[in-house]
Chain A
Amino acid sequence: MIRDITIGQYYRADSVIHRLDPRVKIVGTLLYIISLFAFRGFAGYAAAVVFFGVIVFLSKVPLSYILRGLKPVFFVLIFTSVLNLFWTPGESFFTWGVIDLTWEGLYKTIFIALRLIFLVLGSSLMTFTTTPNQLTDALEKLLGPLRHLRVPVHELSMMMSIALRFIPILVDETDKIMKAQAARGADFESGSIMQRLKSMVPILIPLFVSAVRRADDLALAMDARCYHGGAGRTKMHPLRYRGQDFVAYIVCICYSLLIFVV
C-alpha cells in the first residue's frame, strides 16, 4: 500500500527538465505555486495550464503517470469542492429544495480545485524529474545563507538524505516483524480499536529497537569514514549552473510576471 504512492518518486528519463539544476526546479516550482494563488480570473489559469503542459511535454514523463499523483488528494478535492459549491452565498443560478447553487460558488469551486490540482501536479513533477539526492543538495545550497542565523542547514539536509535511504529498509523490516508476530498468532485485523492499537505494540517495539540499533551503527560508520560535519567538506557532484539553467530562470521569471499582467 505504501508503495502505491507516486509523490516523491523519481521517474528515470533523459530530458531537458531532468538535466536542469535542481535549484532551478525548486525555485521554479515555488514561483509556479505562488502564481496559482496570485492569479485572478480564467486567463491566469489558462496560462498556468499551458505552462504546465509545456513542461510535462519537455520532461518526457507520461501524463498518465503524473495524473496518478492526484489519487491521494482525490477525496480532499471532492470534499472542498462540495463544500464550496453548496455553501457559498451569492447570486443563485439553480435552486432545488434546500440546494442553492451560486455563481460565486461555482467560480470558487473551479478555482480552488484548479489550484489544488496544479499544486500537487507541479510539485510531483519536480520530484519525478529530480532525484532525492539532488533535492537535498539543492535545499542545502539554497538555504545556505540561513547558516549565518545558526540554522544547521548541512545537518538537516544530511538527515533528510539518510531518512530517504532508510525508509524503504524500515518498511521492509516492518513487514518482516509483522509476519514474525503473525507466526506467533498475533492478529492485527480484528477486534476493537483499543485491541488493534494494542496489537501494534509487538511490532512497534522491535521496530524502534532496530531503528536505534541502525542509527547507532550508522553513526559509527560515518565516524569511521572521517565524517565531521559540514566544515571542510567537498562535493563529488557540486551543483553548478549552466547556460540552460539561466534560460530556465528567465523563463520562470517571465512566467511569474504574468501575475501582474492578467
Chain B
Amino acid sequence: MSIVLKNVSYTYGKSGSDCGQALKDISLEIHKGEFLAIVGHTGSGKSTLIQLFNGLERATQGEVYFQGENIYSKGFSMKRLRSKVGLVFQYPEHQLFEATVIKDVEFGPRNMGQEPLQVELNSFQALKDVGISEELLDVSVLALSGGQKRRVAIAGVLAMQPEFLVLDEPMAGLDPAGRREIFSLLKKLHEERGITIVFVSHSMEDVAEYADRVVVMNQGQIVLDGKPRRIFHYEKELQQIGLGVPQAAQLVHRLAERGAGIEQDCLTADESAAAILRWLEK
C-alpha cells in the first residue's frame, strides 16, 4: 500500500531554450499512514513531483507504482488512481465553479462513477469533515469567506474518498489562525480516517509541528529525506538552498556553536525552552 517512484526524471519542452529538466532521477516511496512534508525553493520541482503521484504529469523516464501496479502499464485506470490519490492544487478555491457548495463537492465523486446516493452521502460527509456547517450546503460558493472556500475545495477532493491526500501549499495566503484550522483538519483526517497526508510547504515551523517525515528538494533532486528532527540538523545546507529551520531549532544551534552543551533535537518553542532550562540548570 504505497506510492513508489523509481528512477523518475521529467523533462519539459521539446528542445531549445524552453526545455529543461524539472526532475532528475528521483526514487521515493510514500508509505500508507505517513504525514509527509515536501519542501523546496520555488522551481525545485516539488509541484511537478506531486503531479506524478496521480498521473497528471507523466514521467519522461522511470516508473511510478501505485500499490505495486505500474501506472503507465496498459489498462491501468487513471481515473481510479485519481480517486485514490486526491490532489489539491494551490489556491484550490479558484477552481470552484458550481452554483452551490454541495454541487461543487459532488463533481468529483460523480465523475468517479459513484452511485447517486453514494455521491450525496460522501459529499455530505466530506463537508462535515472539513467543518462546513449544514446551513451552508446550498449557499453560493461566492458568499463564503476565503478560509471556508478553501475547505470546500478540499472537501471536493475528499468526497472521492482518497487514501492519499496530496496538497500543494494548503495554507498559502491564510492568516495564522486559518493555517492552524487547515492543519488541525489534516491532522484529524490523518488520525481518524487513516488518510495518508502529503503536503508541500515553505513554512518550516509548520513542517516541524505536523510532519513525521520531510523530503527536501533542490534543483529537481531529493537532497534530504528523513524525520524533521534529523533534517533540521542540516541548518547550513538548508540555508544554502534557500530554506531555513524553525527559530526554535536555530536558537539551540546558535548556542551549541558558541560552545553550549545543549540538546540539539528541538522542533518547537516548547521543546526549545525546555532544553534551555535543562542546560541552564546543569
Which residues of A pack against B, CB within 8 Å? 176-177, 179-187, 201-202, 205-206, 209-210
Distance between A202 CB and nearest chain B CB, rounded to angstroms: 5
- Which residues of chain B have C-beta atoms less than 8 A from A185's C-beta? 79, 82-83, 108, 111-112, 160
Which residues of B pack against A, CB within 8 Å? 51, 54, 56, 79, 82-83, 86-89, 92, 94-97, 107-108, 111-112, 156-157, 160
**Is B157 a contact partner of A183 (Cβ separation < 8 A)?**
yes
Pick from A182, A187, A205: contact of B97, CB below 8 A: A205
- Which residues of chain B have C-beta atoms less than 8 A from A202's C-beta? 95, 97, 107
Known: A176-B89, A206-B94, A206-B96. A182 touches B56 (CB 8 A): yes
Helix, strand, loop or mixed for chain B's interface?
Answer: helix
- Give the residue name and chain of the B residue nearest to A204 (CB): B97
Known: A184-B157, A185-B82, A205-B97. A179 touches B56 (CB 8 A): yes
- Which residues of chain B have C-beta atoms less than 8 A from A206's C-beta? 94-97
- Which are the 8 A-B pairs with shortest beta-carbon distances? A185-B111, A184-B108, A205-B97, A183-B87, A180-B95, A180-B89, A202-B97, A185-B112
A183 to B55, CA, bound (A): 9
Helix, strand, loop or mixed for chain A's interface?
Answer: helix
- Which residues of chain A have C-beta atoms less than 8 A from B111's C-beta? 184-187
A154 to B54, CA, bound (A): 48
- Which residues of chain B have C-beta atoms less than 8 A from A186's C-beta? 107, 111
- Which residues of chain A have C-beta atoms less than 8 A from B54's C-beta? 183
**Is B97 a contact partner of A184 (Cβ separation < 8 A)?**
no
- Give the residue name and chain of the A residue nearest to B108 (CB): A184
A179 to B83, CA, bound (A): 14
Distance between B81 CB and nearest chain A CB, rounded to angstroms: 10
A22 to B252, CA, bound (A): 63
- Which residues of chain A have C-beta atoms less than 8 A from B82's C-beta? 182-185
A202 to B156, CA, bound (A): 13
